Amino acid sequence: MQLTIIGLPKSGKTTIFNALSAGSAPTSAYSATQAKPNLGVAKVPDPRMIYLTARFNPKKILPAEVHYVDLPASAKGFGTSEGIGGQFLLHLQQADAILHVARAFEDPSLPHSLGSVSAERDIATLDIELSFSDLAVLERRVQRLKEAQKGNKPQEREAAARELVLASRIKEALEQEKPVRQQQFTEEESKTLANYGLLTAKPLLVVVNIGEESIADSDKIEKELRAKFASPSVKLVVISGKIEAELAQMGEADAKEFRASLGTQESGLSKVIRSSYELLGLQTFFTVGPDEVRAWTITTGMVAQKAAGKIHSDIERGFIRAEVLGYDDFVKLNAAPRTGEKSFVEARKRGVLRQEGKTYVVKDGDIIEFLHNE
């Protein structure tokens, strides 16, 4: 699962990407020299991991991850109403979600490519640009479907006619500035759509990059912008890319002190990563023990046997059952620290350790031990 970062030139994309992935890709105040996209991994901050780690004191701690792609410079055409083309389009089509960095910081030495700084304008512009690309894809598709109709057999004709109606309907809504993610579809239509790779169909995370001087107002700015732009498939987070980049370079204690001096508690990065995770419809289950406490990522609604396959295909194939302890039940059993392993014995005694079969729908936070045939 990956998010691809997009935004106008010099909006702070690479700065934020580096902070997210603790990386050091070169940022650019002048022209872009970077030729290949940067790929990075962010660890998902999760207070439950900290709690579990304290109870089991494991040798290894493996948090969940989210992957980010930072594209070289800005999409040609972005901000000029020409639509996004070429390599950029390909990268974006492969993304599970799009992360838009919208610049809100003023810096006279770094002129904004559209002449003035306005995050609201840029957020609206992005959807228009993405819509242009989608319209081009849909037009090509409609054209091809129409041409193919002549040679189609009767039963193919019917399916193609249905698809033509669908494509035309999406096109019309897009022309009225309604992104695909805001349109309604049947299950069958959604399947057809998945093949198109439409950009406005992808969940969107808007990261508004404010200047350091606005940090104190970030909650207020966030609230106002969310009221305008947020929806179930659009999340919005306000951060200062520059400060997050500095914080990411510090040790934990220094970072905490610096954050307290800014009057903010939650790290901006952790907000971005958590929002990414939620936006992608991801959930976590845990495996625990003295060797390793590990967070595994699954999509919401995944059943136990499939979830077992995340660990190893052998466990999925030879699946017998899952022993499941809900996270909240675990916490209740663990008033005293470092009682991790004993709590499973205790859970069994009290009947809160559940025996679940192949089709059990895994819940967020479940602590699971899979039993399987070799």
Ligand X SMILES: Nc1nc2c(ncn2[C@@H]2O[C@H](COP(=O)(O)OP(=O)(O)OP(=O)(O)O)[C@@H](O)[C@H]2O)c(=O)[nH]1
* Residue 242 contact among Mg ion, ligand X, none, beta carbon within 5 to 8 Å by kind: ligand X
Q: Which stretch binds Mg ion (CB under 5 A): 10-18, 83-91, 255-263, 343-351?
A: 10-18
Q: Is the dihedral of CA 295, 300, 304, 310 positive or negative?
A: negative
10 binds Mg ion (CB under 5 A): no
Backbone angles phi, psi at 346, to 5 degrees: -60, -40
C-beta closer to ligand X: residue 33 or 195:
33
> Helix-strand-coil percent breakdown of the chain, rounded to 5?
45, 20, 35
C-beta closer to Mg ion: residue 248 or 315:
248
C-beta closer to ligand X: residue 88 or 132:
88
Note the residues at the interface with ligand X (CB under 6 A). Answer: 7, 9-15, 27-29, 32, 73-74, 105, 107, 110, 209, 211, 240-242
CB 203 within 8 A of CB 97: yes
Site for Mg ion in 40-69 (CB under 5 A): none
User: What is 143-197 written as a DSSP string?
Assistant: HHHHHHHTT--HHHHHHHHHHHHHHHHHHHHHHTT--GGGS---HHHHHHHHTTT
Q: Which stretch binds Mg ion (CB under 5 A): 6-14, 176-184, 252-260, 314-322?
A: 6-14
* Residue 320 contact among ligand X, Mg ion, none, beta carbon within 5 to 8 Å by kind: none
Least Å from the CB of residue 45 to ligand X: 21
Least Å from the CB of residue 244 to ligand X: 9
Least Å from the CB of residue 97 to ligand X: 18
Q: Partners of 43 in the beta sheet?
A: 65
Say whether 78 sits in a helix, a strand or coil: coil
Least Å from the CB of residue 19 to ligand X: 10
C-beta closer to ligand X: residue 27 or 270:
27
Of 182, 187, 77, 191, nearest to 136 by C-alpha is: 77
Cα distances (Å, whole numbers) of residue 52 to 18, 31, 61, 293, 311: 28, 46, 10, 7, 19
Single-letter amino acid, residue 159: A
Least Å from the CB of residue 364 to ligand X: 33
91 binds Mg ion (CB under 5 A): no
* Residue 241 contact among Mg ion, ligand X, none, beta carbon within 5 to 8 Å by kind: ligand X
Site string for Mg ion, 310-339 (x = CB under 5 A): ------------------------------
Q: At CA 102, angle to CA 237 and CA 100, rounded to 5? A: 75
13 binds Mg ion (CB under 5 A): yes
Single-letter amino acid, residue 174: L
Binding Mg ion (rule: CB under 5 A), the pick from 4, 11, 14, 334 is 14
Say whether 69 sits in a helix, a strand or coil: strand
C-beta closer to ligand X: residue 71 or 362:
71
Provide the binding-site residues for Mg ion, judged by CB under 5 A. 13-14
